[in-house]
Each structure stands twice: as structure tokens, then as C-alpha cells.
Amino acid sequence: MQKNKHVLPAAAMEKLLKKIGAARVSADAKEKLREVLEEIGEEIGEKAIRMAKHAGRKTVKATDIREATK
């Protein structure tokens, strides 16, 4: 049995799009949004981890995330 490769649930993508005004959301739109957001999240996470390590910490803090998004 293959483990799910995604971290974010597709239902959350639909909820997000509906929250900002979409009447309906196709399955492929949910999947594409999930792929894009996970990719962006991974990039930010990697930068934040590097910042935490540079500061001599193992713990990633909100400030690391904030700085990684700049």
C-alpha cells in the first residue's frame, strides 16, 4: 500500500477556494492548488530550517518562517 504523498488535504483546497468566492471547484483545480502550495511551503520550510540552524537552533520559529518569506 502506497502512502499518500501529499501533506495538505484536497478538501482544504476546496474550502480555501470557496472561502474566497469560488462557487464550484474541480478535482484537478484542487490537486493543482495542493501541488503549488506544497511546493511553496517546502521552499519556505527549507529556508526557515537553514535560518534556525544558522542561529544555532534545532527549533524552527515563526520568525524564521516570516524571514524566509521575504
User: What ranges do the domains of the chain cover?
Assistant: 35-70
> What is the identity of the amino acid at 19?
K
pLDDT band at residue 53 under the 50/70/90 scheme:
very high
Q: What percent of the chain has pLDDT over 90?
A: 91
Predicted structure pTM score = 0.82
CA–CA distance, 50 with 30 (Å, rounded to integer): 30
CATH code at 35-70: 1.10.20.10
Q: Does the pLDDT at position 46 exceed 90?
A: yes
